Amino acid sequence: MIAREIGKPLGNLPPASVEKLMSRYLALIVVALCSPAAAGEALPVAVPAAPEPKALSLGASYVIDLSFASSSRGGARRLDRFDLTGEANLGRVGCGSCRAFVRLLGNSGGKPNDGAGTLQGINNIEVPKDGLRLFEAWVERDIGRGSVRAGAYDLNSEFYATEGSALLLAPAFGIGSELAATGPNGPSIFPYSALAVRGEARLGRTGLIRAAVVNAAAGTLTDRGGVDFSLRDGVLAIVEGGSAGSGGKLVAGLWSYSRRQPVRDEATDGRRRAMGAYLLGERKIGEWTTAFVRAGVSDGRTSSFKGGWQAGVHRSPAWFGSKDSEVALGLSQAFLSGGERRSIAAGGERPAVSEAGVELSFRDRLFGPVTVQPSLQLVRHPGGLADAQPLLIGTVRFGWSL
């Protein structure tokens, strides 16, 4: 029954069927995580012996940003984030191929984008509300050459992600804006995660396919309303597949919500099913340099963006004198949806076709565990306004990690 329903396009299933399917999927995952017979030992794979993982690993980091914007609405803004992680090997409690992961975030400080006034944001640790959040809490089990993960899950930790763009501070380099702007609170990405089930399988030497079903209503324990267990807003289904190896990757992805979302158009009161696709590639160039390119499109009716792209290069070390140094250059462009442009025009402004930016970021170790990362961004048509002057943003990030 489930296999037959999975074979149907998600867009053809009514919301009740999708939510029923997710409930059955969750039940199967619980069995997979708890049943010894479901472990990967049933399908042995010849791999080199690996050292026994630690029973418990802890990590902590702290970053503080000082941002300056050229806009008259800008000024110096401070942001900071504390990050605490814990990973446990559950082999000692009867699940030899299982691990658990928890991530706690604490964010505070100013709102630099309030001054900058961009549509996509300028800093990847900015949050709408200060506070402490249990951002991730999941259990994963290996099954043959794949794995299953269930719990509070950061979608961008695996989906729509490129290592070469990770150093850049602009949020668009984390996940494409055409997907980041969807859902009641955004999808399950920083700073709001959601309950999810994710499956992954390795095919051949570099083949990869992964899929997830995620609660459409993102929210953590400390947020207003807390974690949503009702699925009242339906689910987000996403799948990506392609080739991923040490030399790079080429991956395509598809995503869709089970329930219709409000149309982003003041002149329209309808609802549409939000859906989209993306393609990303990443390749090593020599020993120290990685190039990346990503592009995505959406239905163009249910968010501020109908598509966009990002591209850039990352080099580590940045120079031979410092093995901890790294530098990245990125370009991005997000195309405004028709509804967003009409909304801007209704406010008396002339809308632009897109909001575009370029960022140069460098990081190196100051001393011990302390790093410094200056970053410079230039944004064209901030806020999607055709007549807005280009915006220059400078940020200095200080980091500490254990």
The mean per-residue pLDDT over the stretch 91-105 comes to: 87
Is the pLDDT reported for residue 123 higher than 70? yes
Tens of pLDDT along 138-151? 999 999 999 999 99
Confidence band for 350, pLDDT divided at 50, 70 and 90: very high
Q: How far is CA 296 from CA 172, 310, 339, 351, 377, in A?
A: 11, 9, 18, 21, 22
The percentage of the chain sitting over the pLDDT mark of 90, rounded to a whole number, equals 66
Domain 2-42+54-401 falls under CATH 2.40.160.10 = yes
User: Higher confidence at residue 40 or residue 293?
Assistant: 293
Question: What does the pLDDT read at residue 16?
Answer: 52
- Tell whether the model's pLDDT for residue 266 goes beyond 70: no
Quote the pTM value: 0.84
> Which pLDDT score, from 0 to 100, does residue 75 have?
59
CA angle 360, 365, 367 (to 5 degrees): 150
> How would you label 170-183 residue by residue, b for 16+ Cβ within 10 Å and e otherwise?
bbbbbbbbbbbbbb
Q: Are 81 and 133 in contact (CB under 8 A)?
A: no
Confidence (pLDDT) at 32: 43
- Structure-token pair, residue 71: 């806009």
Q: What is the mean pLDDT of the chain?
A: 86
39-68 per-residue burial string, b: 16 or more CB within 10 A, e: under 16? bbeeeeeeeeeeeeeeeeeeeeebbbbbbe
Predicted local distance difference test score (pLDDT) of residue 22: 47
The residue ranges of every structural domain in the chain are 2-42+54-401
Q: Distance between CA atoms of 358 and 211, rounded to whole angstroms? A: 31
- The helix/strand count (H/E) of the chain reads as 5, 18
Q: Tell me the pLDDT tens digit for each residue of 333-348.
A: 999 999 999 999 999 9
DSSP H or E segment with residue 249: strand 248-257
In 297-376, alpha helices (H):
338-346
